[in-house]
């Protein structure tokens, strides 16, 4: 059996310019690496950006219980100009691995593959280890759902999942994500009656109705938050009136918004609440409305359990620091895992999506050690 060094593997992964859903051969590369240490690999297609499908990977070692999973994504954001070191060279300099994806999240993938390879080489255990690698976390977000559907068809059940998102802040493991708030975008369009502003009573102003709707929505609190999640919040992000004249009342006015909601809500319930407020105000103003929603993900939360406390204890033993459990951040592929108990634990989030993204080599070594100890404590 082979074992893989996390730094060398991360360098190799960074050298695949996998912007958006472009594969560039990375899934074939990973399949070959994982097959060499005993994994059975399956490439699963999902809709990509452009004519080519996105290629995602599901790999599994063993067939018995318990079943632990590691999840990552190979796609990276662009922002590739003005780098001091070329973004896809994977250069190690002065104790740092430089390159796009070094923190988010090819570095994390390299750490868990390295740890798994060492664990399989050195330990005999009963259970299964699986790996999900998505190609589109930063864009379409269809890869992980495609793999989850594949697992459901096969009747496979994951008992615990670790997502290698860069969750750490000042030191590796100082923060563990045990949930994320949901995200929903919306557009409210209010239709009135156009007319010249000089002729009061001949028009119905949709701007007035929209302003009242915004005021009504913003004046009400959605909730007070939970133990690990902040209060839900709705923010209006764009207001548009398709009108070039100052003395003409427009036919319509619209506003875009985003809601970040905690585990007290489902998107369906929020839609009902918002629809009630919007339609009530519009009716009083004698206006009609059109309301559109797009849900990026529901809120999810894993109640702290023995596995989460086990991870906290390992981090304390290795780093000397106590991990803070929280639900900070935007959305991630973790939102697609349904009721699977899970947490997010990865490298520090200091330069993700930025020019000159880089990660500390010592951080990677530390994270690999944490992952290895998680496997050891989980199975042995």
Q: Which among 220, 212, 233 has a CA at the least distance from the CA of 279?
A: 212
Q: Among 287, 367, 51, 329, which Cα is nearest to 182's?
A: 329
Q: How far is CA 161 from the centre of its chain?
A: 14
Token pair, residue 298, equals 């529901």
> 129: which 2 tokens?
């280890």
Is 246 annotated in the active site?
A: no
User: Which of 22, 23, 75, 333 is the catalytic position?
Assistant: 75
User: Alpha-carbon Rg of the chain, whole angstroms?
Assistant: 24
Task: Tell me whether residue 75 is one of the annotated catalytic residues.
Answer: yes
- DSSP track, 231-268: PPEEEEEEEE-----TTEE-SEEEEEEEEEE-TT--HH
Cα dihedral 35, 42, 15, 170, rounded to 10, equals -90
Closest CA to 46 of 131, 134, 146, 137: 146
Catalytic residue among 137, 175, 333, 363: 137
Q: Which residues are catalytic?
A: 75, 137
């Amino acid at each position: 059996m082979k074992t893989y060094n996390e730094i060398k593997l991360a360098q190799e992964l960074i050298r695949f310019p996998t912007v958006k859903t472009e594969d560039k051969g990375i899934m074939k590369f990973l399949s070959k690496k994982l097959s060499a240490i005993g994994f059975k690999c399956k490439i699963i297609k999902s809709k990509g950006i452009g004519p080519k499908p996105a290629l995602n990977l599901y790999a599994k070692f063993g067939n018995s219980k318990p079943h632990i999973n590691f999840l990552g994504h190979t796609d990276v954001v662009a922002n590739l100009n003005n780098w001091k070191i070329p973004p896809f060279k994977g250069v190690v300099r002065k104790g740092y691995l430089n390159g796009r994806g070094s923190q988010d999240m090819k570095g994390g993938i390299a750490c868990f593959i390295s740890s798994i390879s060492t664990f399989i080489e050195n330990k005999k255990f009963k259970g299964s280890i699986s790996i999900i690698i998505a190609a589109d976390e930063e864009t379409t977000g269809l890869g992980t759902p495609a793999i989850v559907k594949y697992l459901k068809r096969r009747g496979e059940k994951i008992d615990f999942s670790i997502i290698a998102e860069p969750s750490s802040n000042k030191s590796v493991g100082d923060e563990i994500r045990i949930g994320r708030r949901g995200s929903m975008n919306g557009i409210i369009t209010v239709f009135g009656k156009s007319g010249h502003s000089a002729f009061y009573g001949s028009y119905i102003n949709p701007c007035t109705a929209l302003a009242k709707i915004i005021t009504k929505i913003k004046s009400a609190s959605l909730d007070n938050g939970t133990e690990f999640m902040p209060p839900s919040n709705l923010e209006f992000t764009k207001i548009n009136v398709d009108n070039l004249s100052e003395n003409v009342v427009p036919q319509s006015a619209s506003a875009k918004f985003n809601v970040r909601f905690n585990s007290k809500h489902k998107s369906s319930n929020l839609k009902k609440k918002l629809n009630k407020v919007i339609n009530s105000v519009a009716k009083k103003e004698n206006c009609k409305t059109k309301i559109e929603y797009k849900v990026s993900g529901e809120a999810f939360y894993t109640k702290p359990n023995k596995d989460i406390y086990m991870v906290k204890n390992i981090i304390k033993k290795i780093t000397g620091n106590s991990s803070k459990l929280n639900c900070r951040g935007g959305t991630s592929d973790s939102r697609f895992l349904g009721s699977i108990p899970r947490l997010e634990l990865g490298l520090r989030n200091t330069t993700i999506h930025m020019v000159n993204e880089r990660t500390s080599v010592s951080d990677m070594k530390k994270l690999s050690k944490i992952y290895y100890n998680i496997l050891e404590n989980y199975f042995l």
